[in-house]
Amino acid sequence: MMEEILIAGFGGQGVMSMGQLIAYAGMTEGKFVSWLPSYGPEQRGGTANCAVVVSEEQVGSPLVSRPTTAIVLNNPSYEKFEPMVRAGGLLVVNSSLISKVSPRTDIRVLNIDATDKANELGNPKVANIILLGAFLEETGILSDESILEALKKVLSPEKHSLLEINRQALELGRSLTKAPTH
């Protein structure tokens, strides 16, 4: 098993922390992982992305050019990474902010209205966790327990009150993959 994951969106959508959660959880489960942020003269509202590799073997390239999974949270990220997903791979789309529907038939596509669903849950910031839940349900690479364990490490102790809504978001994301979206 080697998952090469690309996560992209606006700065502030929790793209980097999503990647770190996957990396942390992978490490907890004894897998080899790497996390690589895009970095540059970034600014608030600009696009950001990170590459995460989760593997049963030592990670070679931390750089992901042809992802097995791309999770895109906004339009510019969709335009850039939808064509890059490897055949047989997975594309997770935040359909609340992306109106286009991928015409590709050689990949699996999950259109999840994560931002809307996060608002319904009462916190727009957990849209990323909803998408993460959908990704985990579809790939089965990590357990919720390890993700929640990772959240405890990523969130500072004073924010541990947010663990519950994150758990809900994760569960909601998993359930949303059940409805056919493509």
Partner 1 sequence: MGKVLMKGNEVIAEAAVHAGCKYFFGYPITPQSELVAYMARRLPEVGGLFLQAESEVAAINMVYGAAGTGVRVMTSSSSPGFSLKQEGISYLVGAELPALIVNVVRGGPGLGNIQPAQSDYFQVTKGGGHGDYHTPVLAPSTLQEIIDLTEAAFDIADRYRTPVILLGDGMLGQMMEPVEFKELSERKPEQKEWATTGTRGDGKPRIISSLELNADALEKRNELLQKKFTMIKQNEVRFETFETEDADYIVTAYGTAARIAMNAINKARKDGLKIGMIRPITLWPFPEQPFIATRDRVKGYLSVEMSAGQMVEDVRLAVEGKAPVSFFGRTGGVVPTQEEIYDQIIQLAGGVEV
Binding footprint of partner 1 on the chain (CB under 8 A): 20, 23-24, 27, 32-37, 39-41, 58-63, 65-66
> Taking the complex as a whole, how short is the minimal distance between the CB of residue 74 and partner 1, in angstroms?
22
Nearer to partner 1, 12 or 60 (CB): 60
Helix (H, G, I), strand (E, B) or coil at 93: strand
Nearer to partner 1, 70 or 98 (CB): 70
> Taking the complex as a whole, how short is the minimal distance between the CB of residue 110 and partner 1, in angstroms?
25
> Taking the complex as a whole, how short is the minimal distance between the CB of residue 68 and partner 1, in angstroms?
13
Nearer to partner 1, 10 or 35 (CB): 35
Q: Tell me the C-alpha to C-alpha distance, in Å, between residue 141 and each of 134, 160, 166.
A: 12, 25, 19
> Taking the complex as a whole, how short is the minimal distance between the CB of residue 26 and partner 1, in angstroms?
9
Cα-Cα-Cα-Cα dihedral of 146, 108, 82, 6, to 10°?
20
Q: Over 152-179, what HEC string results? A: HHHCCHHHHHHHHHHHHHHHHHHHHCCC
Residue for token pair 């690479």: 141
